Structure 1
Amino acid sequence: MQFRDQGPQNAQPSREERFVAGILKLCTENKGAAARLRRADNPTTEYQSWEVLAGYGIDLEKEYERLPYACVAAAIAKSKAERNGSLKLGQAIGACYENGNASDQAKARLRRLLACDDVAELCRILRPLFSLIDSRVSQGLDYVRLLKQLRQFGFNAQQIKAQWAQEFYGRSEPGEEGQP
């Protein structure tokens, strides 16, 4: 009988980790692909990203599966990020404003995000929010965490919304920084 070591050194990267790493690499190496991915969050031009998305095994016919990947791919391509960041979405919204999470504008942005009912609406609301974050916050977003949240949104929206609110309002406990 063989025993397999289940330690972290043998852990395979998740689908989301492979996707984000692949998109980051593609955007730095292929400017044409990066340009097509920048249009992935626009319903009119989203089809230009389908070749890349299909290459990752994403079912293009299922909107709830396709939109999270297209949204994150567009955000990565537009940000010109070179690696995955560590900033959570709720923290990033607060970081856009001088008063942080005490800002009425930041609270309004969060409330609008929390009012979303489905993945399609959520991805539409995130589009301008990513532009705001990219223009005002120097720290990179944790795209892997965000993609996982977007993929789960259709199945567990309340939990994902609670995570974003906690990230926005909450204070991290010591040693909690790296946890999803």
Structure 2
Amino acid sequence: MDNSQSAAHRFVSTMIDKVKKDTACRAAFRHADTPSMESRAWEYILHFCKLESHTERRVFCLIGAAIARTMPDHDGHMSVGSALRSLCSGGTEADLSTELSRLRRLLACDDSFELLDVIRHVLRYIQAQGALICYEQLLHDTIYWGEYTRIKWTKDFFKVSESATKD
């Protein structure tokens, strides 16, 4: 586990516990995923990320806000791709098309900064539907946004395993 993964793990674990016990923390994070309100949560992310890094700071605020809104008992297990796929409950072409368009919009983002503006709405939608996102992985995927993550989310959406793609 590299340093960023361990920071992500510590942050997610800490926040899952803290938002249940600390109403001030929960209130600070509730809207911290909007740039104008993120500074309220800085004291809680200070020990996990570089506040000087605009993107990193916004990613930690996004994940903290997501945790504060749902107050999960533990971290989830789904990537964004698998979470969107799980919402295709009816199995109809229309269900698949709606969720696929959400995924495609995310995949079209050029960098982490653009992704943050788009994923905030998709994440709220996924949470409202009850899908269990892995916040630790989402934090890492968002900070290091690139082709690897795009491919992973696409494979997860279409349920393609790594072994199926090897010759």
Determine which structure has more spread, i.e. the larger CA radius of gyration. Answer: 1
Counterpart code for 1:164: W
Provide, for residues 97-124 of structure 1, a one-character-per-residue CA deviation record: whole Å limited to 9, x for no partner: 3345951111100000001112121111
| CA apart distance, 1:86 | 0.9
Measure, in 1, the Cα distance between the counterparts of 2:147 and 2:54.
20
Measure, in 1, the Cα distance between the counterparts of 2:87 and 2:116.
19
Residues 68 and 162 (structure 1 numbering): CA distance in 2 closer, same or farther, change over 3 Å?
same
Scaled by the length of structure 2, the TM-score of the pair is: 0.86
Q: Please, which of 87, 90, 101 is the counterpart of residue 108 of structure 1?
A: 101
Q: Which residue of 2 aligns with 1:71?
A: 62
Q: Percent identity among equivalent residues?
A: 28
The alignment's C-alpha RMSD in Å is 2.1
Structure 1 unaligned residues grouped into runs of 5+: 1-7, 175-180
Q: Which residue of 1 aligns with 2:123?
A: 130
CA contact (8 A) 1:101 1:168 kept: no
Aligned residues: 158
4+ residue runs over 6 A deviation: none
Q: Which residue of 1 aligns with 2:157?
A: 168
Measure, in 2, the Cα distance between the counterparts of 1:171 and 1:162.
10
Scaled by the length of structure 1, the TM-score of the pair is: 0.80
| CA apart distance, 1:129 | 1.1
Measure, in 1, the Cα distance between the counterparts of 2:91 and 2:79.
14
Q: Which residue of 1 aligns with 2:133?
A: 141
Structure 2 unaligned residues grouped into runs of 5+: none
